Structure 1
Amino acid sequence: MNYDIEVVELPPRPAAVVRRAKIRPDDVGAFVATAVGEVMTVVRRQGVLPAGPPFTRYGRSADGVLEVEVGVPTSAPVRDVGRVAAMELPGGRAVRTRHTGPYAGVGAAHEAVTHWMTQHGLAVRDLPWESYLDGPEVPRPRTDVVVPCQGVV
């Protein structure tokens, strides 16, 4: 698949997340669905509005286990409740592309961005994230892959 890749400037944004759970790759889909529901419940109860699509950030992986953070950007910071915590999506320069199709294929978008960044002398500055513009019920869901970066294009 060919990806259109762009460099963007993003503002920092408050968000509510289920922080860095350690899960097996086969359990990611179920975890994301449950975590998004949890986050949305806390956000609504606090009278805060979602300010963008749900996202997932992936941290380190070791021994077949991934560190996963799932959340939603918010119109204002939230108070921590249970597993849901306030955080901020980083602002600044980032590389972004859009994957259209099954979530199982999003890895190709990450690979395309990594390759493009290497070709253009950019380095990863913070954890990347995936923003889910459509739900899993859509035949060809859209997913934005965003990688905070540093360097000059």
Structure 2
Amino acid sequence: MPEIVELGERPYVALRGKVAMDGISAFADRLGEVVDWLAAKEIAPNDAPFFKYDVIDMETGLELEIGFPVDDLRSGEGEIVTGVLPAGRYVRTRYHGHPDGLREATSDLLAWGDKEGVAWDVDGNRWAARLEIYLSDPREVPDMKDWDTELQFKLKD
């Protein structure tokens, strides 16, 4: 069941890209580039990896970031960017299952928000913070059907 929570600012390092709807999986495979960049800078992630959907446009594609929250924020390089997830109220819910089911889980969460009358922090197609946080470590949970993912969508202040 979705819940509304108050979250503080969270610095992060991520890979940014423009991705077609059918290219999300290939983009996700590039998360290792972020891991390598962090290792080279001797920066340790402080939480689970995430996908941050900045722009969602079914016709032209997605503007997407994949990365990790960190304590030590430095300047990015090339496609590696740094940023801060904004503080504020978020709707948070968990999904258990293969990532292929996240589209339906997201639709369910948006429908819940419509029913509850929440106001998402979105301007047109651009979201302030719309996250999928991958809580399961594939080395410990190799079967993707057993993965846990948390959805966090920022609400308007």
Superposition misfits of 4+ residues, deviation over 3 angstroms = none
**Which amino acid is the alignment partner of residue 85 of structure 2?**
L
The residue that corresponds to 2:146 in the other structure is: 140
Tell me by how many angstroms 1:82 deviates.
Answer: 2.3
The two structures, once aligned, show a CA RMSD in angstroms of 1.7
What are structure 1's unaligned runs of at least 5 residues? none
Aligned: 1:39 with 2:34? yes
Pairwise mapping of residues 73-92 of structure 1 onto structure 2 (< 5 A)?
73-92=69-88
Tell me by how many angstroms 1:64 deviates.
Answer: 5.1
Give aligned-pair identity as a percent: 29
The residue that corresponds to 1:52 in the other structure is: 47
Structure 1 window deviating more from structure 2 (111-120 vs 48-57): it is 111-120
Paired residue total: 146
What are structure 2's unaligned runs of at least 5 residues? 122-127
Structure 1 window deviating more from structure 2 (100-109 vs 64-73): it is 64-73
Alpha-carbon distance between aligned partners in 2 of 1:90 and 1:42, rounded to the nearest angstrom: 23
SS at match of 1:67: strand
SS at match of 2:146: coil
**Match among 14, 26, 31 for residue 30 of structure 1:** 26
SS at match of 1:124: coil
In the superposition, the TM-score normalised over structure 1's length comes to 0.86
Tell me by how many angstroms 1:26 deviates.
Answer: 2.2
In the superposition, the TM-score normalised over structure 2's length comes to 0.84
**Which amino acid is the alignment partner of residue 92 of structure 2?**
R
